Amino acid sequence: MSHIIHRSLRRTPPVAVGGDGITIIDSKGNHYLDASGGAAVSSLGHGHPDVIDAMHAQIDRLAYAHTSFFTTDAAEELAARIAYDAPGDLDHVYLVSGGSEAMETALKLARQYFVESGEPQRRLFIARRQSYHGNTLGALALGGNAFRRKPYAPLLMDVTRVAPCYEYRDRQQDQSVFAYTAGLLAELEMAIIAAGPENVIGFCAEPVVGATGGAIPPTPGYFTGVRELCDKYGILFIADEVMCGMGRTGTLYAIEQENVLPDLVTLGKGLGAGYQPIGAVVARDAIVQRLRNGSGVFQHGHTYVGHPVAAAAALAVQRVIQRDCLLGAVTVRGATLRRMLRGAFGEHPHVGDIRGRGLLWALELVRDRETKEPFAPSLKLHEAVRAQAMACGLMVYPMGGTIDGERGDHILLAPPFIATDADLGEIVSRLQEALDTALISVGA
């Protein structure tokens, strides 16, 4: 019996004992192709020697120093690197241990910005119904998954939620993309007005939606409109790039492809590529200057802020991405993966949509392609896909529920940036087998 409180309290997963390139090996000697990078984490695959060397070197020098007493070269160099690579005046970095901590930090930084601006009445965040921002109470309150929020509802802050940008299901057949996008922006504006703009802190969204909904890019002009509304009403735009950032979509920041500058960006997952737990918030100059010229203190902190080994790992990851031109590789291999997925699943009777950007792709599963009717949640098709994929030696990231847990199943793919065309071909062919077996197993 395992003494770990696993997510499923009835099932202990296989024991991972090794990793090499895009493969993970379990204690029984089974090999799994890591087609999801865990949960869009392992962008460099497993066992990358440059990252391991950098971590060893840092541990040999210094494993830990508390930030009440010291900063470290590793943390300073990583922050400088992030600030240098980030667009515009996103120049200030707060290093944490993961995506949820990054989100909490962004919420607090945004709130303190307004407190120090003499607007303490601002307390409301607006987010979207199709989103995941983490599992701590603040991040959970923002997220669109009603079923994840439900047990904790009395503990969560009020959040106003608006429609996501989800063209596949929500754009009417006779509606132009422009009209659809304008409608979404009108809804956001109405939400700001209804709340009273003077009460709103910020709007938070994933530039490319990750796990809840599956690799959904925005429609053209959507985020330009978001930025304009935020400017018009003086509220902050927080881009959650925990999943879609750090090169996953082919640019270091997914929002760069929208030509929009957020006020705060959160990072996690691909920042350290799984070699260490690390996340970050990147803030525009005006926000940090306001605090610097006000109280002079950011009222926040965690024991492992700026952890030097995590910082050294993340710095090495970022250097490898640049040295090996992996952003270009993501774009090229992403196009290959798209071609392969369309070839394999384009006519599949139960694949309603194939979408994504860079090396973040998803298949949305439907009972009926014409009506887009999802499978009944009680079938737990996504669970069956995960199990069958593992049996085929494949890790994919299937999720049930796209909006507030009500709209069916999808499968997320986020292979390491180092995957070859042959790896991608093998991933797609194993996925075909796993999906068809899973569909049979649930009686579809």
User: Among residues 37, 45, 99, 250, which is the contact residue for ligand PLP, using CB under 6 A?
Assistant: 99
Q: How far apart are CA 90 and CA 282, in angstroms?
A: 6
Using rule CB under 6 A, residue 215 touches ligand PLP: no
In the complex with ligand PLP, which residue's Cβ is closer, 34 or 116? 34
Tell the smallest beta-carbon distance from residue 280 to ligand PLP (Å): 11
Q: Which two tokens stand for residue 218?
A: 């925005």
In the complex with ligand PLP, which residue's Cβ is closer, 44 or 103? 103
In the complex with ligand PLP, which residue's Cβ is closer, 281 or 435? 281
| β-pair type (351-357, 16-20) | unpaired
Tell the smallest beta-carbon distance from residue 13 to ligand PLP (Å): 17
Using rule CB under 6 A, residue 98 touches ligand PLP: yes
Sheet strands side by side (includes 23-26): 16-20, 23-26, 31-34, 394-395
In the complex with ligand PLP, which residue's Cβ is closer, 238 or 329? 238
Packing angle of the helix pair 326-345, 421-441 (nearest 10 deg): 40
Using rule CB under 6 A, residue 270 touches ligand PLP: no
Using rule CB under 6 A, residue 334 touches ligand PLP: no
Site map 130..169 versus ligand PLP, x via CB under 6 A: --xxx-----------------------------------
Using rule CB under 6 A, residue 268 touches ligand PLP: yes
Say how many residues make up the chain. 444
Per CB under 6 A, the segment of 204-212, 317-325, 392-400, 421-429 that binds ligand PLP is 204-212
In the complex with ligand PLP, which residue's Cβ is closer, 260 or 439? 260
Q: Which amino acid is at 309?
A: V
Q: How far apart are CA 92 and CA 80, in angstroms?
A: 8
Q: How far apart are CA 140 and CA 144, in angstroms?
A: 8
Tell the smallest beta-carbon distance from residue 173 to ligand PLP (Å): 30
Count other C-beta atoms under 10 Å from residue 5's C-beta.
Answer: 6
| β-pair type (394-395, 360-365) | unpaired
Q: Give the residue closest to ligand PLP by C-beta.
A: 99
- For the segment 291-330, give every residue that binds ligand PLP (CB under 6 A): none
Tell the smallest beta-carbon distance from residue 118 to ligand PLP (Å): 31
CA distance to 282, 283, 393, per residue, from 86 (Å) = 8, 10, 37
Phi and psi at residue 179, in whole multiples of 5°? Answer: -65, -40
- 3-state DSSP assignment of residue 165: coil
Which strand (E) or helix (H) includes residue 432?
Answer: helix 421-441
Tell the smallest beta-carbon distance from residue 95 to ligand PLP (Å): 13
DSSP state of 307: -
- Give buried/exposed letters for 267-290 (b at 16+ CB in 10 A, else e): bbbbbbbbbbbbbbbbbbeebbeb
Site map 21..60 versus ligand PLP, x via CB under 6 A: ------------------x---------------------
Per CB under 6 A, the segment of 188-196, 235-243, 311-319, 428-436 that binds ligand PLP is 235-243
In the complex with ligand PLP, which residue's Cβ is closer, 45 or 213? 213
By the criterion CB under 6 A, which residues form the site for ligand PLP? 39, 98-100, 103, 132-134, 206, 210-211, 240, 242-243, 268
